[in-house]
Amino acid sequence: MTTSTETQEIVIVTGASTGMGAATAREMARRGFHVLAGVRRDSDGEVLLAAGIEPVILDITNQDHIAALAARIDDDPQGRVLRALVNNAGLPCAGPVEVVPLDEWRRLFEVNVFGHVALTQALLPALVRGKGRIVNISSLNGKVSMAGYGAYAGSKFAMEAVSDALRNELAPSGVQVVVVEPGGVQTQMAGTGLASLSRLSARMTPEQNARYGALTQALPSHVAAFTKAGVTSETAARTIAKAATVRKPRTRYTIGAMATFLIRASRFLPDRVLDRMTTSDLRKHYPDRVRPATAARHA
């Protein structure tokens, strides 16, 4: 892949309003690409304009937005090719499987899975013409799930499977598919998920609270600690940019030491050993008064 400022090949980054998406858009622009950055509001795009990035209003669950972006690529005034699509947009979610309402499950999969599939389908003709690349942003939770993260992990596991199928289906057409699996990244996304967790906890029945009260109290602290220990958005963006531009990419890249360790461990450790590892990490964040009982219940 080239990064020539003469060709100014196009790269699309979804979910570019803040965090990893915005950092990736800036990194790709710095490397000489013309970046179309998907944002939800005009105000989000104003900051990106200063970095030489072209913001586009893009809700990946909105078919009109997707069609408009596909038309923008097909009718590019300079006839530039689409070199890479970075599927980064996503929603967080935390809470026990039993407690997360089905409407939230559907909304999560609508954004984290179906929206990416819809956008990829629409842009595949242009990607095939340009021998481009698809970079799907998954997660550590796309390989390792744990208590309290089932819905989010489920959506990321799904994208891992979709990516594997796409990689094989598109290889004969010259389109490469790469998965990036971040662990903790210092972004605002975690705070968004915790706000919904607070509402979820307030709606639990007494029976559910007896089962999951300690877990839901532990999750905010667990997420905060995981995020604080994570890499910066700029560090993550450099890995994503590498996945999008290196001539012979790996099929998967991890971001952060924790993601690398747990994903590797998941390949070799028995399920129950991995369960004990992830439960032990969560247990450190349980309220002190319930920690012994919780420990016994999860042993």
CA angle 85, 121, 130 (to 5 degrees): 50
Is 149 catalytic? The answer is no
User: 3-state DSSP call for residue 248?
Assistant: coil
Indicate which residue of 149, 152, 253, 286 is catalytic. 152
Which residue is listed with tokens 């965090």? 19
Q: In this structure, what are the phi and psi dihedrals at residue 38, rounded to the nearest 5 degrees?
A: -75, 125
On whether the CB atoms of residues 103 and 264 are closer than 8 A, the answer is no
Structure tokens at 222: 């667990």
Cβ-proximal residues to 193 (8 Å cutoff; 6+ apart), any chain: 91, 92, 93, 94, 152, 223
Closest CA to 201 of 222, 220, 188: 220
Q: Distance of alpha carbon 182 from its chain centroid, rounded?
A: 8
Q: What is the set of active-site residues?
A: 152
